[in-house]
Structure 1
């Protein structure tokens, strides 16, 4: 029989998996008119304000470097992003959004704003803010705990 804590952890995971699927479906629909996919929008969005290496993007998003590399290469092939030399690291190039990439993301803006407004109206802006804050605290706590076989206090 599982403990109450195990059940809470399982329910948190199941809920986050469901939310992830829902957010991905929403992002796919929002991105479609711009010609982007959710994944391309995510990677391009990571470098809109400042360039970053593929590894930095992957760490920020919590996904594999290889996944980001594949998407970044596609964005470069489509002239939505480009690689530039990185003064801090010879081999890890910086990914920059091009003007075409910025334009593609800008096309998502109106639909994104409308959906965000709809969600805030339905849930309430304060409850939405609280939910986001709590998800962030949960994520930071999980980062601090590490993976189960790397948890603090365990023999390594």
Structure 2
């Protein structure tokens, strides 16, 4: 007889929470020498390609708008990001990295690549791809259930 989905879901949630904590510790270690925290790096990373409103960043990261707002305000205060007018919505300004913010993220990249290679060596590239696919499927399924 197969295991009931309730305990499986609980074990999966605990494993994902643990994994999130592990990723945050690694991200803090990688970002620290560049003068960033994991959260600052994450928010700056979300706007590297294009400026976004705080609500859009929060949606893409799966966290609250208020959490992103606090981080965005700190990034602006420290000169790592700036608010720009949003032609689509006058009150929801766009967050964009400054040159200093881009430079800070770029200082993280070499260490991040080294760590990624170490992780891939430990798991093997195929297992790493499988883990990514499983996490993406789980996230998509949760998103679909949330939309129902």
Aligned to 2:14: 14
CA distance in 1, matches of 2:81, 2:91: 18
Aligned to 1:123: 123
Aligned to 1:87: 87
Aligned to 1:104: 104
CA distance in 2, matches of 1:17, 1:96: 29
1:20-35 residue pairs with structure 2 within 5 A?
A: 20-35=20-35
Aligned to 1:144: 144
Q: How many residue pairs were aligned?
A: 146
Aligned to 2:64: 64
1:134 aligns with 2:137: no
CA distance in 1, matches of 2:61, 2:84: 21
- Determine which structure has more spread, i.e. the larger CA radius of gyration: 1
Cα deviation, 1:64-92, whole Å, max 9, x if unaligned, reads: 00000000000001110000000000000
Aligned to 1:74: 74
TM-score (normalised: structure 2)? 0.96
CA distance in 2, matches of 1:142, 1:75: 30
Shift of residue 110, structure 1, vs aligned partner: 0.8
CA distance in 2, matches of 1:16, 1:56: 23
SS class of match (1:89)? coil
CA distance in 1, matches of 2:63, 2:142: 15
CA distance in 2, matches of 1:57, 1:65: 8
Aligned to 1:55: 55
Shift of residue 4, structure 1, vs aligned partner: 1.5
Q: Unaligned regions of 5+ residues in structure 2, if any?
A: none
RMSD: 1.0
Runs of 4+ in 1 over 6 A off after TM superposition: none
Shift of residue 111, structure 1, vs aligned partner: 0.6
Shift of residue 7, structure 1, vs aligned partner: 1.0
TM-score (normalised: structure 1)? 0.91
